[in-house]
Amino acid sequence: MILVEVYTQNPIAHNQKLTYESDVEIPTGCRVLIELRNRQIVGFVDRCYEGEVDFETKKVLEVIDDEPIITKELFDLAQWLSYQTLSPMIRCLQAILPNPLRPSKSFKAPVIVRMIRLIDVDETLTPRQTEVVEVLKKQGEMPYSDVHQKDKAIVRALIKKGVIEQYEIERDYEEEIVSATSEHKKLTADQQKAVETVTLNNYQSYLLFGATGSGKTEVYLQIAQKVIDQKKQVLILVPEISLTPQMIERFESRFGQDIGIYHSGLNNQEKYEQYKRVKENKVNIIVGTRSCVFLPFSNLGLIVLDEEHDPSFKQETLPYYHAREVAHYRAKLHNCPIILGSASPSLESYAKAIKNVYTLITLPQRINESFPEVKVIDMRAQLRQLKNEVISQELDNAIRDALDHKQQIILLLNRRSYSPIVQCQNCQKALECPHCDTTLAYHKESNAYICHTCGYSQRDNTCNHCGGKAVMMKGLGTQRLEEVIKHKYPSATVARMDADTTKRKNAHFKLLNKFQNREIDILVGTQMIAKGLDMPYVTIVGILQADASLMHDDFSSTEKAFSLILQASGRAGRHDLKGSVYVQSYLPDHYAIQYALRQNYIGFFQEEMNYRHQGNYPPYIYLCEIVLSHTNLEKINELAQRLAYAARNKGLNTLGPAPLRKLSTMKRARIVIKHKNHAELLEMLHQIHEECEISTSNIQVIFNVNPQQLSI
Ligand code: ADP
Ligand code: ZN
């Protein structure tokens, strides 16, 4: 009997494989249709073998794919990922495959195009029919939809006659013609050295530590050129969708080819088309965000992670992977270099560079040799003068001056909504989400109170505590900031860029294009405007509430604040015009702010590493956060106690269990585990997972290894 073991997305199966019977051998990596509990679902074949089992097996209903939809490398990668992140294999496969290929409860076919072509011309044809046949002769084959409306009847008649045949193909990507318009720049001595340091055809990690505007991208371009000459593939990872057009533009204009692109803004079909382009080796440079690291490359010659410190490289849902780790895995397999670039490297990466695990390359100078002038504005003084202005006097002067000179301004406020907190005027309590332990934020555009944790939204402003109606808006969000700025500078064109204004497809690109073309004078937004943008006319950057993240007591919040200020100030004065940065803060003396002002990464690194050492936090140790959630708190506590006991029993440094905020009606608890050795930690986590029978428990348990921050 031929037995087939499949992975399914089914809660009762968890990470177990299910066994079915088949009449034929089915290769690993094909999808099959199977029946489970009287329902048809899609399964993913892990292996097929001749054998017997002592339980009853059902037959595979249908084999969906003729050949595996995943390469051997990616299948192995899924298994590695499943081990590294303690996630079910099916979730790893789903993360790796583009939507139309994902094994899930059902499956969606990619878009099919109806094509026609000539097969026989010996028939006697009418003059009109001959016309159509002549067109097809020239074209060879064409999509039926391209046939002119008036000719459709003729085509149908010809199909009937057997002159034309119709058939179906999957829609393919249509390559665009791109011309090379940008020449190689003559490299500076530092850049030259950087390019020469990177050895091709050899797995080695490089940390390219270069100030903002120091010419890192030019270094990527010139190394990529060498890789392309070898006919190998180049993968460029960027942290944010909004950064892809800029990177694409620079690569396309240099190499004169239609560069591959892959990010969450593409629809399913577009993702699938890009996936196929890579799989069929039709494109050799790909730019994209996190999930791009899973594309089916066959011949990688270089991986670049630009802005490698950025937290968005870590996926914060199952599987909890970090694109940097996956990139290392793939670079090693393809035996190629990986370059991590940043002006404010993650502590982890810089620590590795110091220990020579990564080769450190530095570009200390800005190409235009001028760093922006950075000023910190003490907002406490403003408070003392009872001024409750959003924009300080100094920043206001600078904005007016820049507007007078037709220069552009970026204002960063890392909080969306109109008002992040809405308070009852009667009892002073905040409006809260009925499903989570979080406050609701007011969004003026939709006139709704929205939970940023679970997405819940209500129009009603009745206080849950006293039934009072009148509410007060507390705090400042980007919507309100936009309103304030429009009011304050009526002659300026103001636009806002945050998660709310960029929901629609291509909204990012449209906004940035307008800004690039100077149709916008002042751009207000969240951290998405702080990253990587290279706009020559931006002279003023204002960072409002720069200390907001310093108020959190998470181990990583200082690093985040430092990096945000450094990155944001890197947006000003990148070209010929001199730039100034205004950092408004209630904690102006905080070391993160002080080092960021002086663009002193090394100073910050040393001081922050001291704190990490004292607190026993990464990069000195490896962390794993285990979060349990269920509606029943007793059940959570029981399992959490057992988990913590098992961890302590293995000698692991274990904190908790501690309660967390309720989220989407789920009560939650957390355990934090710290350990010196990564491999050992993983091994023990798997043992604990097994001992506590996590895969058959009905409590949701998430292991987040190397979390970017701890849950609250
Ligand atoms: P980074 O990626 O480090 O922020 P970029 O590569 O974007 O820096 O370089 C900043 C600016 O300097 C860009 O406009 C770029 O075209 C320009 N540039 C980079 N290298 C050179 C060079 N060697 N000569 C002249 N201009 C350069
Ligand atoms: Zn909620």
CB of 648 shorter than 6 A to ligand 1? no
Third-level CATH fold of 2-101? GIY-YIG endonuclease (3.40.1440)
Query: Quick one: which atom of ligand 1 is closest to the CA of 363?
Result: 3
Average pLDDT, stretch 227-255?
Answer: 90
Contact yes or no for 68/29 (Cβ under 8 A): yes
Average pLDDT, stretch 139-155?
Answer: 80
User: For position 68, what pLDDT does the model report?
Assistant: 87
User: For position 122, what pLDDT does the model report?
Assistant: 66
Region at 528 (left for phi over 0; alpha for psi -120 to 50; beta for the rest): alpha
Tokens of 488: 């304050």
Q: What angle do CA 655, 616, 677 make, to 5 degrees?
A: 85
Which runs of consecutive H residues, i.e. helices, occur in 280-411? 323-334, 347-354, 379-384, 393-404
CB of 214 shorter than 6 A to ligand 1? yes
Q: Is residue 275 predicted with pLDDT exceeding 80?
A: yes
User: What does the alpha-carbon distance between residue 378 and residue 584 come to, in Å, rounded to a whole number?
Assistant: 6
Atom 25 in ligand 1: residue holding the nearest Cα: 185
Pick from 190, 216, 217, 307 the residue to mutate for probing ligand 1's pocket: most ligand atoms within 8 Å of its CB.
217
CB of 191 shorter than 6 A to ligand 1? yes
CA atoms within 13 A on the CB side of 53: 14
CB of 213 shorter than 6 A to ligand 1? yes
Q: Is residue 449 predicted with pLDDT exceeding 60?
A: yes
Q: Which CATH number fits domain 373-416+477-612: 3.30.300.30, 1.10.1060.10, 3.40.190.10, 3.40.50.300?
A: 3.40.50.300
CB of 216 shorter than 6 A to ligand 1? yes
Q: Is residue 123 predicted with pLDDT exceeding 70?
A: no
Q: Is residue 175 predicted with pLDDT exceeding 90?
A: no
Which runs of consecutive H residues, i.e. helices, occur in 489-555? 507-516
User: For position 350, what pLDDT does the model report?
Assistant: 97
Q: Is residue 355 predicted with pLDDT exceeding 90?
A: yes
Q: How far is CA 95 from the centre of its chain?
A: 12
Query: Quick one: which atom of ligand 1 is closest to the CA of 188?
Result: 23
Q: Is the peptide bond before 245 cis (omega within 30 degrees of 0)?
A: no
* Ligand number, closest to the Cα atom of 366: 1
- Of these ranges, 369-378, 464-473, 619-628, the one predicted with the greatest mean pLDDT is 619-628
Q: Do the strands 580-585 and 373-378 form a parallel or antiparallel pair, or are they unpaired?
A: parallel
User: For position 438, what pLDDT does the model report?
Assistant: 81
181 vs 608, residue with greater confidence = 608
Given pLDDT bands bounded at 50, 70 and 90, which one contains residue 676?
A: very high
26 vs 98, residue with greater confidence = 26
CB of 210 shorter than 6 A to ligand 1? yes
Q: In Å, how far are 233, 258, 283 from 255, measured between CA atoms?
A: 13, 9, 12
Pick from 534, 537, 538, 601 the residue to mutate for probing ligand 1's pocket: most ligand atoms within 8 Å of its CB.
534
* Ligand number, closest to the Cα atom of 431: 2
Determine the distance separating the centroid of ligand 2 and the alpha carbon of 438, expressed in angstroms: 6
470 vs 372, residue with greater confidence = 372
Determine the distance separating the centroid of ligand 2 and the alpha carbon of 665, expressed in angstroms: 8
Please report, for the chain, the start and end positions of each structural domain, with discontinuous segments joined by +. Answer: 2-101, 112-170, 189-363, 373-416+477-612, 622-705
End-to-end CA distance of the chain: 52
* Ligand number, closest to the Cα atom of 368: 1
CB of 187 shorter than 6 A to ligand 1? yes
User: For position 55, what pLDDT does the model report?
Assistant: 87
User: For position 109, what pLDDT does the model report?
Assistant: 57
User: For position 13, what pLDDT does the model report?
Assistant: 54
Dihedral sign, Cα of residue 463, residue 469, residue 473, residue 478: positive
Determine the distance separating the centroid of ligand 1 and the alpha carbon of 568, expressed in angstroms: 17
User: For position 117, what pLDDT does the model report?
Assistant: 83
* Ligand number, closest to the Cα atom of 531: 1
**What CATH architecture applies to the domain 189-363?**
3-Layer(aba) Sandwich (3.40)
Given pLDDT bands bounded at 50, 70 and 90, which one contains residue 382?
A: confident
Given pLDDT bands bounded at 50, 70 and 90, which one contains residue 22?
A: very high
CB of 370 shorter than 6 A to ligand 1? no
Share of the chain above pLDDT 70, in %: 95
Dihedral sign, Cα of residue 518, residue 520, residue 522, residue 523: negative
324 vs 181, residue with greater confidence = 324
Residues with C-beta atoms within 5 A of ion ligand 2: 433, 435-436, 451, 453-454, 456
Out of 104-108, 221-225, 369-373, which region has the weakest mean confidence (pLDDT)?
Answer: 104-108
CB of 215 shorter than 6 A to ligand 1? yes
Supply φ then ψ for residue 103, to 5 degrees.
-75, 120
User: For position 293, what pLDDT does the model report?
Assistant: 97
Q: Is residue 364 predicted with pLDDT exceeding 90?
A: no
Tokens of 593: 């702010």
Q: Is residue 711 predicted with pLDDT exceeding 90?
A: no
- Full-model pTM: 0.87
Determine the distance separating the centroid of ligand 1 and the alpha carbon of 78, expressed in angstroms: 37
User: For position 387, what pLDDT does the model report?
Assistant: 62
- Of these ranges, 371-380, 381-390, 664-673, the one predicted with the greatest mean pLDDT is 664-673
Determine the distance separating the centroid of ligand 1 and the alpha carbon of 310, expressed in angstroms: 21
User: For position 108, what pLDDT does the model report?
Assistant: 54
Determine the distance separating the centroid of ligand 2 and the alpha carbon of 99, expressed in angstroms: 28
CATH class of 622-705: alpha beta
Query: Quick one: which atom of ligand 1 is closest to the CA of 212?
Result: 4
Contact yes or no for 98/266 (Cβ under 8 A): no
CB count within 10 Å of CB 292 equals 22
CB of 372 shorter than 6 A to ligand 1? no
User: For position 15, what pLDDT does the model report?
Assistant: 66
* Per-residue model confidence as pLDDT tens digits over 508-566: 888 888 998 999 999 999 888 877 677 888 899 999 987 777 777 788 889 998 998 88
CB of 367 shorter than 6 A to ligand 1? yes
Locate tokens 């088949």: which residue? Answer: 22
CB of 344 shorter than 6 A to ligand 1? no
User: For position 159, what pLDDT does the model report?
Assistant: 83
CB of 532 shorter than 6 A to ligand 1? no
Q: Is the peptide bond before 319 cis (omega within 30 degrees of 0)?
A: yes
- By 3-state DSSP, what share of the chain in percent is helix, strand and coil, each rounded to 5? 35, 25, 40
Given pLDDT bands bounded at 50, 70 and 90, which one contains residue 235?
A: very high
Same fold, 189-363 and 373-416+477-612: yes
Pick from 187, 216, 367 the residue to mutate for probing ligand 1's pocket: most ligand atoms within 8 Å of its CB.
367
* Per-residue model confidence as pLDDT tens digits over 575-630: 777 888 999 988 899 999 999 988 899 999 999 999 999 989 999 999 999 999 99
Q: Do the strands 538-543 and 408-412 form a parallel or antiparallel pair, or are they unpaired?
A: parallel
- Read off the amino acid at residue 645: Y
CB of 98 shorter than 6 A to ligand 1? no
